[in-house]
Amino acid sequence: MFKFYVNFTFANGQPQALRCFLSEDFLENKLKCMYLYQCFKEAGDDRMCQAIETVFCKREINFSKIKLSLTDIDYIATFLVHSSIRQWEIVKFSYCHIQDDGLDILHSALQGGTVRIGELVLAYDGLTDLSSKHISDIILTCGVVDVSVGGDDKGVGETKGFYSTIIADPKSKLEKLSLGRNKVTSKSAITIFQLMKEGKSKIDMLYINNNEITDEAVETIAAALQEDKTLRVLKLEQNRIPGEDAERIVKALEHNNTLQKLDLSAYPKDIQQKIMSQKETINKKRKCRGCQVELEINFLNF
């Protein structure tokens, strides 16, 4: 601990963190900064706490690919709640293996409602559906605009009411929702797209690829896309949607002037040709209606 303490210099009586030790290239040292922050906070040394806060001047916390212990998460939570920085652009915990217990610590700390988060990433963290309620609480409490969850094929978000809360609650500010590799079922997809059809969604980017959506959800998806005036990007590839049903989804876009990009699975060539023909028709109709937004369709295979 002393090693880090003496690596602070003072200018005009104010502590300054040495950049060579606490630069953005050393994410693990940023974690050590948070250890120090808690020590100085408990000691009542506000000047040293302020110096540590300058390391995060870009208002980003990114611990991607660093396996975090529950103790690490506790230090991070303390920093989030007690630092003078109230608005964070990015809080990223991808591949951190925080699991449900770690998210419980973050959730408890953030319930005061004074911290705002623009982008929250909780992907590939070993989370399960037990964390769904905590995630929805954080999204509402912190005013999250962009959230990414899942990546573990564990099915986060299958809890009843999860999507209705994060999408339709008046307090929700969510605009981008990433649910790739999250075992999203047709039932959940129907809930999401029904909310869109009813005009309750502010989502303009929906990544729902690599899930378990089948033809059961196609009718609701198509109906929603006819009515929705918000969604700009939709990733649907690598689900269980047959080619003929993908055609139905694209055809529904003849009544849509908003969607700009649609990613689908790499279907056989004959189906792809039919879909691309539909796309040309859609873009012609959009131009006739005075709309300058053209539809782009990609066929992706992983």
Residue-wise pLDDT for 28-84, tens only, equals: 578 888 888 998 899 998 988 888 898 888 999 999 999 999 999 999 999 999 999
At 13 the pLDDT is: 57
Residue with tokens 């006739």: 288
CA–CA distance from 161 to each of 152, 165, 166, 195 (Å)? 21, 6, 9, 12
Q: For residue 27, what are the contacts with CB-CB under 8 A and spacing of at least 6? A: 62, 63, 64, 66
Phi then psi dihedrals of residue 39, to 5 deg: -65, -45
Q: Per the structure block, which two tokens stand in for 82?
A: 């007690």
Q: Could you give the domains of the chain?
A: 1-57 (no CATH), 61-300 (3.80.10.10)
User: What's residue 16's pLDDT?
Assistant: 52
Q: Under DSSP, is residue 181 helix (H, G, I), strand (E, B) or coil?
A: coil
* C-alpha Rg value of the chain to the nearest Å: 23
**Residues 144, 170, 163: CA angle, nearest 5 degrees:** 65
pLDDT digits (tens, 9 = 90+) for 178-205: 999 999 999 999 999 999 999 999 999 9
Total Cβ atoms within 10 A of residue 183: 18
Angle between helices 99-110 and 70-82 (to 10 degrees): 20
121: left (phi over 0), alpha (psi -120 to 50) or beta: beta
State the Cα–Cα distance between residues 149 and 177, nearest whole angstrom.
8
- Tell me the mean pLDDT per 10 residues along the chain, length 302: 44 50 51 88 89 89 93 95 95 95 97 94 94 96 96 82 95 97 94 96 97 97 96 97 97 96 97 97 94 96 74
Residues pairing with 205 in the sheet: 176, 233
pLDDT value of position 3: 43
- The pLDDT assigned to 23 comes to 42
- Does this model's pTM top 0.85? yes
Residue 22's pLDDT is 40
Q: Which of 159, 162, 176, 168 is nearest to 197 (CA)?
A: 168
Contact 265/235 with Cβ under 8 angstroms? no
Are 224 and 197 within 8 A, CB to CB?
Answer: yes
pLDDT at 48: 86
Helix (H, G, I), strand (E, B) or coil at 238: coil
